A and B are shown apart, each in its own frame.
Chain A
Amino acid sequence: MTSLLEVEDLRVRFSTEDGVVRAVDGVSFEVDRGQTLGIVGESGSGKSVTSLAIMGLLRGRFTVEGSVTLGGDELVRADPDFVRELRGNRMAMIFQDPLSSLHPYYTVGNQIIEAYRLHTGATKRVARKRAVDLLGRVGIPQPEGRIDDYPHQFSGGMRQRVMIAMALACDPELLIADEPTTALDVTVQAQILNLIADLQEEFGTAVILITHDLGVVAGVADEALVMYAGRPVEHGTLRQVFYEPRHPYTWGLLSSVTRLDREPEHRLRPISGNPPSLIDVPSGCPFHPRCPYRMLPEPCSTEVPEYAPVNGGHLVACHLSEQERTETFARDILPRVQSSVRKGG
């Protein structure tokens, strides 16, 4: 059985004055209808570039290699016109900053209507009715009255709702949400995440949710993919990644966040150092300079670890043996990340 979206060995690089940036370096995953994949990573981890590559939005100086198929149709090597047909139609995207992704000069109605008519060839009247319907669906009060408003007349949360309405105009099979709530307040974030989950249930959309916030992933995703320096380092079900994480970077992320469900400790446990430059990615495992469990000099600084399954579908790229990982996790990490409100803690 093939999944709706299949990404295989996706690679994106581009040249700059300082050298070649390998923004994405061998990412593979699948997402099925009705499923949500959370992609987690820090800035520069390649998570946004991955989504742009899927949408076919990287042209010019970007070199995209590998394979992306949506419902069996190959996108990477496809004709740009073919991908443009799909974009906004079978796959859609919402961005972090809704103000800069909406055109300030056109009313929101105009922008939704334009996209809808372009893909369906509907009449103006039908498209307008559809736009009002969508705006109501995403929770904008009195949509008939607001459809002729300009983006600046909406608040941040409402703009993001407009973006979602626009993305859903053609009932896409795949929705990519790139940090959809990062610019929003927490109470509004909760509303938007809820909305995405409801709409997904209703339409059976496949969702890729890109975020730096592990809590957001924990709340809405089915699977999680952790990226570092353009590479996938861990991928599994939500339970695998949160309760049996096997990569030291995931451990670091999980134990460095402040949490409401744990008694505050006197000191946090940050990951030491800074994320690497993608022009000069460390040799071997890209995380080794910051990894407290590295084995030096070999193999961590010399060999790129294989991205291999540990059990079932749980994939990890790390040189530590499974036994070392299990033991280290139980000994060092679990006590730091276990919620104090969980039973048996």
Chain B
Amino acid sequence: MGSATTNTTSSSTADTTGDAAGTGGVLLEVTGLRKHFPIKRGIIFQKQVGLVKAVDGLNFTVRRGETFGLVGESGCGKSTTGRLLTRLLRPTDGQIVLNGQDISYLPQRQVRPIRRDMQMIFQDPFSSLNPRHTVGSIVGAPFRLQRVETEGGIKRAVQELLELVGLNPEHYNRYPHEFSGGQAQRIGIARALALRPKLMVCDEPVSALDVSIRAQIINLLQDLQEEFDLTYVFIAHDLSVVRHISDRVAVMYLGHIVELGEARQIYQHPLHPYTHALLSAIPISDPDVDQARERILLTGDVPSPLNPPSGCPFRTRCWKAQDICRTERPPLAEKATGHQVACHFPEDRALIPASDR
């Protein structure tokens, strides 16, 4: 398994907004990444009774300036992956190379300087902001922690950041509870942006927000990307949001990547049955289109990662499963240029909603 880690094909730059051109190349390279959480029982003499394979062998690269979408349902390991990339968690196995430096097993003390280059935005804007600190102190914290000198002092830098993310700089002394959800998320973005990182891992940054606010934040993230040449790893369960913002997308299921490719490929010509099911399950806000299309109803739930199925992780819910799916896990293999899929029987039809109407 674990084929094709290098995706150096310079395929269709049409939707990469052209800003990857400057430096180009790979910013982040992930090889064989695993995170297993032991389940322990007992108080003093702890005994390991199980192993949750939250992330089980990921291979992908993220290019400079692109947005790499990571989608999947709850429990698929997408958030764990995000936390591994930013080294909030230590991998069990595998390698994470950021900007040419192997950061996989660095001790926390050595990770801290690297956080200047990689930051994270979280789902719940309120629980990720300390309620007892003012906005100024929250957004200014990266400067103090990293001992970064700023021209004109930290306060001025913070106020510039607030303005950059569309907040009133005079709100410097306010507390998080005085802001709405959308504004609080902007504070989180300002904090992540403070040290001008190269990589931003956005973990469900808009799922907790109202529909009308969601679009504001997505636009803001896109503007900032263009202005500061940011690279995003965008983690979300909402496939339509991911399609909008991503250049390339990886679909995860039970700790594995089951499909990876250009956004266009994934959404117009998905190969994995799971991707088909996911896309067909998303409601479309047009009654005729929504009601006319074929909907693949998966039976049952995602299996427990404590006791994953043998062979292909999706086989228990897959309508195409055969014997080989039970015995052999399909490797992630390239089926078209830049389009990889892990399936013994990939689909070869175009996506349902876009066809035959």
Q: A: which residues have CB within 8 A of B? A: 42-43, 141, 155-158, 185-191, 194, 212-219, 238-239, 242-243, 252-254, 256-261, 264, 266-272, 274-275, 337, 339, 341-343
Contacts and interface: CB of A to CB of B under 8 A. Distances in A.
Nearest to B207: A182
A253 B284 contact: no
Given A214-B285, A270-B212, A185 B237 contact: yes
- Chain B interface category by residue count: 35 or more
Given A42-B210, A218-B286, A191 B297 contact: yes
B285 A218 contact: yes
Given A186-B278, A186-B281, A191-B298, A268 B211 contact: no
B285 A215 contact: yes
Contacts of B74: 156, 185
B282 A185 contact: no
Contacts of B182: 274
Contacts of A274: 180, 182-183, 213
B210 A268 contact: no
Given A257-B211, A260-B353, A268 B219 contact: yes
A185 B289 contact: no
B354 A212 contact: no
A43 B182 CA distance: 12
Interface string B64-104: 00000000011000000000000000000000000000000
Interface string B261-292: 00100010000000001111111111111110
A341 B289 contact: yes
Question: Which one of B211, B243, B284 has the highest number of Cβ atoms from chain A below 10 Å of its Cβ?
Answer: B211
B216 interface: yes
Contacts of B181: 43
Contacts of B218: 258, 268
25 contacts: A42-B210, A42-B211, A155-B301, A158-B301, A186-B237, A186-B278, A186-B281, A187-B278, A187-B281, A191-B297, A191-B298, A212-B211, A213-B211, A219-B283, A242-B286, A243-B287, A258-B215, A258-B241, A259-B240, A259-B286, A261-B284, A270-B214, A271-B212, A341-B354, A342-B286
Given A260-B240, A260-B279, A185 B284 contact: no
Nearest to A139: B299
Contacts of A242: 285-287
Contact of B284 (A141, A218, A268, A272): A218
B357 interface: yes
A260 B301 contact: no
A304 B301 CA distance: 48
A155 B287 CA distance: 30
A264 B277 contact: no
Contacts of A252: 212
A216 B215 CA distance: 18
B214 A256 contact: yes
Given A194-B297, A343-B357, A258 B243 contact: yes
Contacts, number: 150
A42 B212 contact: yes
The 9 A-B residue pairs with the shortest CB-CB distance in the complex, in nearest-first order: A215-B283, A270-B215, A271-B212, A268-B215, A185-B73, A214-B285, A42-B210, A190-B281, A270-B216
Interface of B: 17, 73-74, 180-183, 210-216, 218-219, 222, 237-241, 243-244, 263, 267, 277-291, 295, 297-302, 353-354, 357
A272 B216 CA distance: 8
Task: Classify the secondary structure of B's interface with A.
Answer: helix
Contact of A185 (B17, B183, B302): B302
A188 B301 contact: yes
A242 B286 CA distance: 7
Contacts of B353: 260-261, 341
Given A275-B180, A342-B357, A186 B285 contact: no
A277 B95 CA distance: 48
B213 A218 contact: no
A195 to B, nearest CB: 10
A80 to B, nearest CB: 34
A187 B73 contact: yes
Given A186-B281, A187-B277, A267 B290 contact: no
A42 B210 CA distance: 6
A321 B302 CA distance: 51
Contacts of B215: 256-258, 268-271
B124 to A, nearest CB: 14
Given A267-B222, A270-B215, A274-B213, A187 B298 contact: yes
Residue of B239, B283, B302 with highest tally of chain A CB at under 10 A: B283
B171 to A, nearest CB: 13
Given A258-B238, A260-B243, 6 more contacts: A191-B297, A194-B297, A268-B219, A274-B213, A339-B284, A339-B286
Contacts of A337: 286
A141 B300 CA distance: 9
B244 A186 contact: no
Given A158-B301, A258-B240, A264-B243, A189 B281 contact: yes
A264 B244 contact: yes
B155 to A, nearest CB: 25
B297 A261 contact: no
B210 to A, nearest CB: 4
Listed residue (A185, A189, A217, A254) with the most chain B CB atoms within 10 angstroms of its CB? A185
B297 A190 contact: yes
Contacts of A258: 215, 218, 238, 240-241, 243-244
Given A274-B182, A341-B354, A261 B289 contact: yes
A157 B180 contact: no
A191 B354 CA distance: 22
Contacts of A266: 17, 222
A97 to B, nearest CB: 14
Nearest to A290: B212
Contact of A186 (B210, B222, B282): B282
